[in-house]
């Protein structure tokens, strides 16, 4: 291991920033800790306003040439990045697992292939991005998508590379240049992505990676007058600070924030399916913004549903995420574990009952938990825990189910289990959510819009919606027979 390189499971990772096509070290560092065992993986360059200024300047300088690059060439380079991801898939998987604690088997089979797909999808979508010309009183209207400029992308720790490339890929495809700020708890795969992009032929300055604490460099990133777009995935309080910082320059924002999503189980549902969907909410140790953490179950089947859920949850294995047999790994950080346990202990003190779990399992793990006897206005029902903690409430009527489902400040997603298609149509039409799943969960397509309502976010990502955000959408109107004869 050299001064600026750490090794994770035999994979060398550069700990410096990537700015203007070069590695740049900071004078100070911060430790990167593995949630698996609490070990320090290495010291990471700790960015300051100086590195931010250099990255934005590099992105600004690279923007005109990248924006002018033909669509087909931009798409070719993005496909080359995808090739590089696939070539290094195993390395990316083990580094990500070590850095954020999610299951290695998931990274190998689903997450890292999805990273490559993110680049391929937006490369291909770019080539077919168009709006049919239309006429207004004989005048021709032509819609085009012009690259907006340098874009700041601030990404979370729960699915670091997948969620980063969900932003990086469309921003680059749109012709923008990027300053990527990965979460300080999980910076490693962003560094590897910089290497892969450079090897794929992405010009210097088009992608820049600045590491560090959001509290120290966030404002420098989001208030910079040369930044033309800001995309953030994370918490509501941080989003408020970003919005306030961006306001001075009226920089457009895309915000994908928290959730407190419901799982509605009606008496006519397939209860085995409903219990399977419920157990899925423990995925990634509950660190999924889309998770349906509030079970709303019709009274007449609540006891049977709970029995089946507890039986299935009891079959889960919690432990080292590198083990193929593990179903639930660690939570990301002792600070997050403390937060999770605080929610649970306050709920128990207020009269909630732990059907399962309700306690820590060592320094890095929290037992899968289901709480019942919880009030609708209680903290545990209203606030996002972001851990393996679920609640169960009952309802008597369809109207009550909808009321309870919508009774939070969030509106990211909802899941519905019912055997009645007419009920499904009625209920989904009334749910406040950006995504609704009926008798399924986490089926995702990049063609579909993704985002939240209320405090769950601003804007939509996916397909043309991503290009609408990362571009200045222009309409050109041409008069009929208005050309002079130059012949």
Rounded CA separation 207/150 (Å): 10
Distance between CA 200 and CA 313 in Å, rounded? 44
Q: 20 and 39, same structural domain?
A: yes
pLDDT reported for residue 362: 82
For residue 486, the model assigns a pLDDT of: 55
- Structural domain contains residue 214: yes
Domain count within the chain = 2
Averaged pLDDT in 10-residue chunks for the chain of 487 residues: 87 98 97 95 97 98 98 98 98 98 96 97 96 94 97 96 97 98 97 98 98 96 98 95 96 96 98 98 95 98 98 96 96 94 98 97 93 98 97 98 98 97 97 97 94 95 96 95 64
Q: Which among 162, 118, 152, 185 is positioned nearest to 254, based on CA atoms?
A: 152
In terms of domains, do 292 and 180 share one?
no
- Kindly state whether residues 294 and 241 are assigned to the same domain: no
- Rounded CA gap, 53 and 68, in Å? 24
Q: Which two tokens stand for residue 403?
A: 């009321």
CATH assignment of the domain containing 129: 3.40.605.10
195 class by beta-carbon count within 10 Å (0-12 exposed, 13-18 middle, 19+ buried): middle
Asked if residue 480 is part of any domain, the answer here is no
pTM exceeding the 0.75 threshold for the entire prediction: yes
Same domain, 60 and 112: yes
484 domain-assigned: no
Q: Tell me the residue ranges of DSSP E strands in 317-387.
A: 353-356, 369-372
Helix (H, G, I), strand (E, B) or coil at 312: helix
Q: CA 414, CA 6: separation in Å to the nearest integer? A: 41
Can you tell me the distance from the alpha carbon of 332 to that of 165, in angstroms, rounded to the nearest whole number? 20
Residue 280, Cβ neighbours under 10 Å: how many?
A: 17
User: Is residue 81 located within the same domain as residue 204?
Assistant: yes
Instruction: Report if residue 426 sits inside a domain.
Output: yes
Residue 107 maps to a domain: yes
481 assigned to some structural domain: no
Q: Which residues are catalytic?
A: 256, 289
Both 9 and 85 in one domain: the answer is yes
Task: Say yes or no: 70 and 195 in one domain.
Answer: yes
Same domain, yes or no, for 208 and 106? Answer: yes
The rounded distance, in Å, linking the Cα atoms of 398 and 417 is: 12
- Using only C-alpha atoms, what is the Rg of the chain? 24
Instruction: Compute the distance between CA of residue 43 and CA of residue 45 in angstroms, rounded to an integer.
Output: 7
Q: What is the pLDDT of residue 482?
A: 67
The answer to the question of residue 372 being in a domain is: yes
Single out the residue of 447, 156, 105 nearest to residue 283, CA to CA: 105
DSSP-derived secondary structure for 68-121? HS-HHHHHHHHHHHHHHHHHTHHHHHHHHHHHH---HHHIIIIIHHHHHHHHHH
Q: Are 372 and 356 in contact (CB under 8 A)?
A: no
Q: How far apart (Å, rounded) are the C-alpha atoms in residues 203 and 201?
A: 6
CATH number at residue 373: 3.40.309.10
- 384 with 465, same domain: the answer is no
Q: What residues have CB less than 8 Å from 137, skipping those under 6 apart?
A: none
| Alpha-carbon span 46 to 23, nearest angstrom | 13
Q: How many CB atoms lie within 10 A of CB 72?
A: 10
The answer on 23 and 162 residing in a single domain is yes
| pLDDT at 342 (0 to 100) | 97
CA nearest to 261, candidates 409, 450, 102: 409
Q: Residues 284, 206: one domain?
A: no
In degrees and rounded to multiples of 5, residue 335 shows phi and psi of -65, -40
As a whole number of angstroms, the longest Cα–Cα distance in the chain is 87
Domain extent for 401: 262-438
Contact 95, 193 (CB under 8 A): no
Which 3 state secondary structure label does DSSP give 340?
helix
Same domain, 39 and 157: yes
> b/e for 344-355, b at 16 or more Cβ within 10 A?
beebbeeebebb
Task: Kindly give the pairing relationship between strand 134-136 and strand 139-147.
Answer: antiparallel
Q: What is the dihedral of CA 338, 340, 343, 349, to 10 degrees?
A: -70
Does residue 336 belong to any structural domain of this protein? yes
* Cα–Cα dist 53/16, whole Å: 16
End-to-end CA distance of the chain: give it in Å, rounded. Answer: 70
């Amino acid at each position: 291991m050299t001064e600026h390189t750490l090794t994770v499971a035999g994979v060398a990772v550069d700990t410096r920033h990537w700015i203007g096509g070069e590695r740049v070290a900071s004078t100070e560092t911060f430790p990167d800790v593995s949630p698996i065992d609490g070990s320090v993986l290495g010291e990471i360059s700790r960015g300051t306003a100086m590195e931010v200024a250099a990255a934005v300047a590099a992105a600004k300088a690279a923007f005109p040439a990248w924006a002018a690059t033909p669509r087909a060439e931009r798409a070719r380079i993005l496909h080359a990045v995808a090739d590089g991801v696939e070539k290094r898939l195993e390395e990316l998987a083990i580094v990500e697992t070590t850095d954020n604690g999610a299951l290695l088997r998931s990274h190998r089979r689903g997450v890292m292939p999805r990273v490559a797909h993110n680049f391929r999808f937006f490369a291909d979508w770019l080539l077919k991005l168009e709006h049919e010309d239309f006429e207004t009183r004989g005048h021709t209207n032509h819609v085009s998508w012009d690259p907006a400029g340098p874009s700041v992308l601030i990404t979370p720790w729960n699915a670091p590379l997948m969620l980063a490339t969900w932003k990086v890929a469309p921003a680059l495809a749109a012709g923008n240049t990027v300053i990527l700020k990965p979460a300080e708890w999980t910076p490693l795969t962003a560094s590897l992505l910089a290497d892969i992009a450079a090897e794929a032929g992405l010009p210097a300055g088009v992608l820049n990676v600045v590491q560090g604490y959001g509290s120290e460099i966030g404002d420098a990133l989001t208030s910079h007058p040369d930044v033309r777009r800001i995309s953030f995935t994370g918490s509501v309080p941080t989003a408020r600070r970003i919005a306030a910082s961006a306001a001075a320059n009226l920089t457009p924002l895309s915000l994908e924030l928290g959730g407190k999503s419901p799982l509605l189980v009606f008496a006519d549902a397939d209860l085995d399916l409903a219990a399977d969907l419920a157990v899925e909410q423990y995925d990634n140790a509950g660190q999924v913004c889309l998770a349906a953490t509030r079970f709303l179950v019709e009274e007449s089947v609540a006891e049977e549903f709970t029995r089946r859920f507890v039986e299935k949850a009891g079959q889960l294995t919690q432990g080292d995420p590198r083990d193929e047999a593990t179903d639930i790994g660690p939570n990301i950080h002792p600070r997050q574990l403390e937060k999770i346990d605080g929610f649970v202990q306050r709920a128990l003190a207020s009269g909630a009952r732990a059907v399962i779990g309700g306690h820590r399992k060592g320094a890095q793990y929290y037992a899968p938990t289901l709480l019942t006897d919880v009030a609708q206005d209680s903290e545990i029902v209203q606030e996002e825990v972001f851990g393996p903690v679920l609640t169960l409430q009952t309802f008597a009527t369809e109207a009550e189910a909808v009321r309870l489902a919508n009774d939070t400040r969030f509106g990211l997603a909802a899941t519905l289990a019912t055997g009645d298609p007419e009920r499904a149509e009625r209920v989904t039409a009334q749910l406040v959510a950006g995504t609704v799943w009926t008798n399924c969960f986490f089926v995702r397509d990049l063609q579909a819009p993704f985002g939240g309502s209320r405090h769950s976010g601003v804007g939509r990502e996916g397909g043309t919606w991503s290009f609408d955000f990362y571009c200045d959408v222009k309409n050109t109107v041409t008069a009929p027979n208005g050309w002079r004869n130059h012949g």
